[in-house]
Amino acid sequence: MKQPGLWRFHGGLKLDARTARATGDQIGTIPVPPQLVLPLSQHVGQPAEPIVVPGERVLCGQPIARPSGYVGAKVHASSSGTVVEIANHPVPHPSGLAAPCIVIETDGLDERWTGYEPLSDYAALTGPELRARVRAAGVVGLGGAAFPTAVKLGAGSGLKLLILNGAECEPYICCDELLLRERAAEVLAGAQILLQALAIPRCVIAIENDKPLALEALELAIARAADPRLEVVSVPAVYPEGGERQLIKVLTGEEVPARGLPPDIGYLCHNVGTAAAVARAVLQGEPLISRIVTVTGDGVAGPRNVDVRLGTPISALVQACGGYTGEAAHLLMGGAMMGFPLADDSLPVIKGTNCIVVASREEIRPRAPVMPCIRCGECAEVCPAQLLPQQLYWHARSDDLEPLDDYHLFDCIECGCCDLACPSQIPLTQYFRYAKTELWARQHDRVRSDLARERFEARRDRLEAEQAARKQRLEEKARAADEARGDEQARKAMIDAALERVQARRDAGASGPPGKDE
């Protein structure tokens, strides 16, 4: 292992990892449950559109919904069976809301769909072809945010370094550690595919230094792969190092600009689990239908990591890990820092589910009463985005949200360090989340009101034009009548002409075609 000069990112906290209990066992598997619930919206962007109908039989790995926009991912059936319903079901989301889901009654046969061909030699494929395969397989970032991987792969050219993120910094979560321990070769294969797809010369795989077994396994796999482009770097364990901006800073000393993305400075960051999913998608033609989930906490009898089919209810997952203990009090998805509570365990595992924590009362204590901010500045000391949380807090608390953008609210990664550091127990992160969603809503309202103004003005102009036209018509008529009245002779001539016409028509008699007024 090379240990180049590492940098540090600003702030951060040293947290108790709490992963030991779940890393003792190998990655387990669980049987396919009788019913799978697959939400159509599992990430940012537009929800996917179903391409199956209730009653249709689907095979394991068959696409059942396609993305409706550029930022989107396909959804695949994670086992064979019958689609019984496409309806709203509660989904794992901080809101606890219900959203459209495809429900599959499984038949236990787990019959494979063979629409995507396995491909052992991808050397001839171009970047866009590889990207298309990744997109077809519905691969998304498996670190938790579930951003569609193919979109990230379209992020430009001339990149100098691919970073595979194995720095799992959140307490409790250890699914990437187990993946690296048991499937390091697959991760490396994924890295090689990503390198080829974007013509990147080098790849660094970052692992925190408190995971020696994973490091060992990865070094062994790299020695076997004998690929000089791949390199593993052990980084000190500081929360939130798993954030891509923080990891890039640690590895390269460079900072991703605010409102910018890593490709702007030549880097691309993917989770190690994502790399493994890319390898399976390209080499085996296997879409993203399962993922490794850490099930842990004092409230579960046998904490461990499980390779589970997407759509499996969390209750089945906990059951497979020995069930609940008497201490179970809280159910969280994600880690203890950035996770969110779930209302109940009937919710399905989705692409972004990296960890299920069943915590006891002791592990997650209720917050002490909130005290006034004393402007101690502890929050600014620990903020990894180098923001001023206390300043953001003052504005958010007084609902004076417009200046928050000037204080770079949208650079907040919601890591929760400031919450933990605050001696007054102020729920800072929740204020920032509130302010962010409120500002997005206002932005949305502004777009709508601009549309309404446009339509209102268009209608006003139309009505004015119609009125003007009517007025003009009336005026013309009046003028014509006036002229006729003024010129008696012309009037007489008009009457005579009319009489003549009538006479002529009478003379024509029945032989001519009947007139309109006859």
Binding site for other proteins (CB under 8 A): 41, 91, 93-95, 97, 99, 369-372, 397, 399-400, 402, 427, 430-431, 433-434, 436-438, 441-442, 444-445, 448-453, 455-456, 458-459
Nearer to other proteins, 206 or 396 (CB): 396
Find tokens 């066992």 and name the residue: 25
Name which of 16 and 399 has its Cβ closer to other proteins: 399
What is the C-alpha separation between 205 and 274, in angstroms, rounded? 13
Could you give the CA distance from residue 227 to residue 216 in angstroms, rounded to a whole number?
Answer: 17
CA distance 189 to 210: 24
Distance between CA 54 and CA 36 in Å, rounded? Answer: 14
d(C-alpha 407, C-alpha 516), whole Å: 78
Q: Single out the residue of 1, 111, 21, 106 nearest to residue 62, CA to CA.
A: 111
Q: From the CB of 393, what's the least distance to other proteins, in Å?
A: 10
Tell me the closest approach of the beta carbon of residue 88 to other proteins, in angstroms: 10
Q: Judged by CB, which is closer to other proteins: 408, or 433? A: 433
Please say which residue, 456 or 499, places its beta carbon nearer to other proteins.
Answer: 456
How far is residue 168's CA from residue 238's CA, in Å, rounded to a whole number?
Answer: 10
Give the shortest CB-282-to-other proteins separation in angstroms: 31
**How far apart are CB 449 and other proteins at their closest, in Å?**
4
**Distance of closest approach, residue 387 Cβ to other proteins, in angstroms:** 18
Closer Cβ to other proteins, 29 or 430, answer by number: 430
Spacing of C-alpha 66 from chain mean position: 15
CB of 420 to other proteins, least distance (A): 16
Q: Which is nearer to other proteins, 92 or 384 (CB)?
A: 92
**φ and ψ of 165, to 5 deg:** -90, 105
Shortest Å, Cβ 422 to other proteins: 13
Nearer to other proteins, 154 or 427 (CB): 427
Residue 111: CB atoms within 10 A of its CB come to 16
Using DSSP bridges, classify how beta strands 28-29 and 267-271 pair: parallel, antiparallel or unpaired: unpaired
C-alpha distance from residue 18 to each of 169, 179, 257, 369 (Å):
11, 18, 33, 26
Q: List, in order, residues 6 or more apart from 74 with CB less than 8 Å away.
A: 48, 63, 65, 66, 67, 135, 136, 137, 138, 287
